[in-house]
Amino acid sequence: MRNNNVLGVVFSSMHDEVLTGLTAIRPLGSVPFAGRYRLIDFPLSNLVNAGISKVGIITQNNYQSLMDHIGSGKSWDLSRKNEGLFFLPPFTISNELYEGRIASLMDIRPFFKNAREEYVILSDCHVVGNIDFDSLLKKHIASSADITVACRHGYAPRINNNLIMWMNAENRVIDIVIGQRPAAECDYGVGLYVMRKDFLMRMLDAAASRNQMHFERDILLRHMGEIRICGYRLPEYTIVISSLGSYFKASMEMLSAQVRQALFQPGRSIYTKVRDAAPAIYGLHASVSNSLVADGCFVEGTVRNSILFRDVRIARNAVVENSIVMQGAVICEKTSLNCAILDKDVVVKSGRVLSGADDYPLFISKGTVV
C-alpha cells in the first residue's frame, strides 16, 4: 500500500546511553547488528514497506558512520527527485537538544511546515522488529485517536524514562507511569507513535512555550485526560535493546532459524546497504557450527554459536564461541573468545583468553589491540 499521506521521522540517537561503548563513536541507529545490518535499518525498512516515501532522520553528533551507511537512501528506495530521504542534523549545539523529543522536534519545525503529509510516524532505533506500520496506521485512523502508542506486553526493559501504561477494553490509555519498572508484566512503550501532523505541531508549540521538553511526560501524561491516547500491542516479533546484555541476547537469537524467519520475511524485507564482496573462505582446518558468517571472512580456526561481520580473520587454532566479532577484526592463533563483543578493527594477539558471561558480555572497543 502506498501511504503518500504519511511522514516518517526516525530518531537515530535516542537512547544512546543504553549502549555506551558501542555509541561512543556512532549513534544508536548506526550500531551493527546480525552480521550485516544496522539498527536503523529496521525502522527505515518498516516505513518503506508501509509505502511511506518521505522520511526524516534526526541526528545528534558522531553521525558520519550513519551517513556513510545510508547515503542517499537508494538501498531503501528513498533516493528520489521529490521527497525521499532527509538528514536532519541539529541547528544548535545545546546539550539540552536531546534531553527530550520536543526540543529536537521543534528544531526541525520547518521540515514539518513544508511537508504536505497529513500523518506523522515517530520511531526510535532501539527496537529490532519487522513491524507492519500499515496495520498500525489503519488502527490509529479507525480508533479516532489523537495519538497511538505502540507497545509490547511483558517485563519492561531497564531503560530511562520507561513509558508504562494501562488500557481499557477499547485500548484507550487510562493511566501512564514514567520511569518505573514494575516487577510484573505490563504494557510498555517502544518509542513508536502515530498522530496527525497538525495535532503534533499544536502540542509541540504549546509545550515549547512553557519550556516543557519531554514528550512522554509533558504531552502524553500531562494531557491524558484531554486527548484520546490509544495503545497498539505489537503482534510481531520484537526485542527492545536496553543494555549491552539485551543487545547480546538479541544478536544471539538471530542464530535461531525460527527467529530469522519471523524477522526477515519475504513479503516485508529488511533492507540495508549493499556491499559486493568475495564469499567467506574456510581453511582446511576450519570448524564452523551454528554461526552467521558474512562475506569476506577468512576462517581457519573454530567458530561456534557466533556472529562474524565482514572481513573478519580467524587464525588457525583460535576458538570463538558465543561471541560477536565486528568488521575487520583479527583473531590470532591460540586465542580463545567466549561471550565477547568485539567492535570494528579489533586485534586479539596470540595466546589471549577473553571471556564474559551470557548476561554480562565482555566488550572490546573499536580499534583496540589486546
Domains, the chain, ranges and CATH? 6-263 (3.90.550.10), 281-364 (2.160.10.10)
* pLDDT < 70: residue spans in the chain: 1-2, 92-99
pLDDT score, position 92: 59
- What's the length of the chain? 370
pLDDT score, position 100: 74
* Total Cβ atoms within 10 A of residue 269: 12
pLDDT score, position 99: 62
pLDDT score, position 354: 97
Place of cell 589486546: 370
* Cα 3 → chain centroid: 22
Q: What is the pTM of this model?
A: 0.95
Q: Which amino acid is at 249?
A: K
pLDDT score, position 67: 94
Q: SS in 3 state form for the chain?
A: CCCCCEEEEEECCCCHHHHCCCCCCCCHHHCEECCCEECCHHHHHHHHHCCCCEEEEECCCCCHHHHHHHCCCHHHCCCCCCCEEEEECCCCCCHHHHCCHHHHHHHCHHHHHHCCCCEEEEECCCEEECCCHHHHHHHHHHHCCCEEEEEEEECCCCCCCCEEEEECCCCEEEEEEECCCCCCCEEEEEEEEEEEHHHHHHHHHHHHHCCCCCHHHHHHHCCCCCCCEEEEECCCCEEECCCHHHHHHHHHHCCCHHHHHHHCCCCCCCCCCCCCCCCCEECCCCEEECCEECCCCEECCEEECCEECCCCEECCCCEEECCEECCCCEECCCCEEECEEECCCCEECCCCEEECECCECEEECCCCEC
Cell triple for 45? 525498512
pLDDT score, position 197: 97
Distance CA 58, CA 13 (A): 8
